[in-house]
């Protein structure tokens, strides 16, 4: 079953871990600044959550980054309309054109957001999403542009960037069974890619499980490949490489330099190193992300190794 405008509506499931979530990226690469608008909703109980975050190299934790208002517990909003979401913490999500255009806004705690998101292509659906840690979920990713502005503690910052958004509905179970990554980059409407990788038995190597390559006007699903960390800065990734092949036999080699990191503990049981990443591929440069996630036991090992490597 494909996607259509009807999938803008919230979906309902009987699983007690059922959630619907939506995420949008925005960034100002020349300032090494990145942010998200991210929310979830439980249609069974009416409990919403989420919020925006903004970070740059000045702070790598949720308590010292530029701005953070992700909230797990927010007052119940019964019968929330998915085309016009407004959370109690002021985050708003409006569908202007289904699967094409969205308005995102927020005004609270010293941050004002006013953004518009426009798609570059149709959503790319991934079945049996490995990031959901559950079967029965549906997930899609969609590249686009994000424009507008944010006012942070009195300073106005214009936003005009390429962006990715995603939607997931289904069980969101706590924990992570193994490490992995969610990575993507866009250099133009005709050149972009996205991949999801999961750890293998070979130390330091993750296999490509899902994703796409858009090159020369042709879209192809990624069918094989690997991701490796070339360098770490303490426990966080600093330089990574993706090698992949799509269904048309086209090869992709992308090298990413991490500019900004946030250690994000948004979903229970796993920590993500959420980064703004400067990617190079096909002789081009483009911005995107490298969202590396780990079970908590692995984070302890990464931090111990990082401390040993410190001068």
pLDDT in tens, 106-133: 999 999 999 999 999 999 998 654 554 4
Residue 232 — very low, low, confident or very high, per pLDDT cuts 50/70/90?
A: very high
Would you say residue 136 has pLDDT above 80?
no
How far is residue 119's CA from residue 164's CA, in Å, rounded to a whole number? 9
- CATH match for 17-126+135-173 among 3.40.720, 2.60.40, 2.40.370, 3.10.50: 2.40.370
Please report the pLDDT score of residue 127 as a whole number.
60
The answer to whether 212 and 193 have CB atoms below 8 angstroms apart is yes
The string of pLDDT tens digits covering residues 147-182 is 999 999 999 999 999 999 999 988 877 766 789 999
Q: What angle do CA 98, 92, 169 make, to 5 degrees?
A: 55
pTM above 0.85, yes or no: yes
Question: Residue 213 pairs with which residues in a beta bridge?
Answer: 193, 220
In terms of C-beta density within 10 A (0-12 exposed, 13-18 middle, 19 or more buried), how is residue 51 classed?
buried
Residue whose tokens read 């969610």: 182
Domain locations in the chain as residue ranges: 17-126+135-173, 177-311
Task: Kindly report, residue by residue over 31-82, the tens digit of the pLDDT.
Answer: 999 999 999 988 888 889 999 999 999 999 999 999 999 998 899 887 777 7
Percent of the chain with pLDDT over 90: 69
Q: Which residue matches tokens 């559950």?
A: 134
């Amino acid at each position: 079953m494909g996607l259509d405008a009807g999938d803008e509506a919230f979906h309902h499931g009987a699983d007690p871990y059922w959630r619907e979530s939506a995420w949008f990226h925005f960034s100002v690469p020349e300032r090494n600044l990145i942010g998200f608008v991210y929310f979830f909703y439980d249609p069974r109980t009416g409990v919403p959550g989420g919020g925006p975050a903004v970070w740059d190299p000045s702070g790598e934790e949720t308590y010292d980054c530029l701005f953070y208002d992700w909230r797990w517990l927010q007052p119940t909003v019964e019968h929330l309309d998915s085309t016009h979401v407004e959370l109690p913490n002021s985050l708003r999500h409006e569908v202007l054109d289904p699967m094409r255009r969205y308005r995102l806004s927020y005004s609270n705690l010293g941050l004002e957001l006013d953004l518009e998101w426009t798609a570059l292509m149709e959503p790319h659906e991934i079945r049996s999403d490995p990031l959901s840690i559950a079967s029965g979920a549906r997930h899609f990713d969609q590249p686009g542009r994000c424009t507008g502005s944010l006012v942070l503690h009195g300073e106005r910052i214009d936003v005009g960037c390429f962006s990715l958004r995603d939607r997931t509905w289904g069980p969101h179970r706590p924990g992570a069974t193994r490490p992995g990554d969610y990575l993507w980059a866009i250099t133009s409407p005709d050149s972009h890619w996205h991949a999801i990788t999961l750890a293998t038995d070979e130390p330091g190597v993750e296999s490509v499980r899902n994703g796409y390559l858009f090159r020369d006007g042709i879209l192809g699903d990624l069918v094989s490949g690997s991701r490796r960390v070339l360098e770490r800065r303490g426990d966080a990734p600093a330089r990574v490489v993706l090698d992949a092949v799509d269904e048309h036999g086209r090869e992709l080699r992308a090298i990413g330099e991490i500019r900004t990191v946030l250690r994000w503990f948004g979903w229970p049981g796993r920590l993500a190193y959420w980064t703004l990443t400067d990617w190079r591929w096909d002789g081009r440069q483009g911005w995107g992300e490298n969202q590396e996630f780990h079970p908590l036991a692995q984070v302890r090992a990464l931090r111990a190794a990082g401390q040993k490597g410190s001068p």
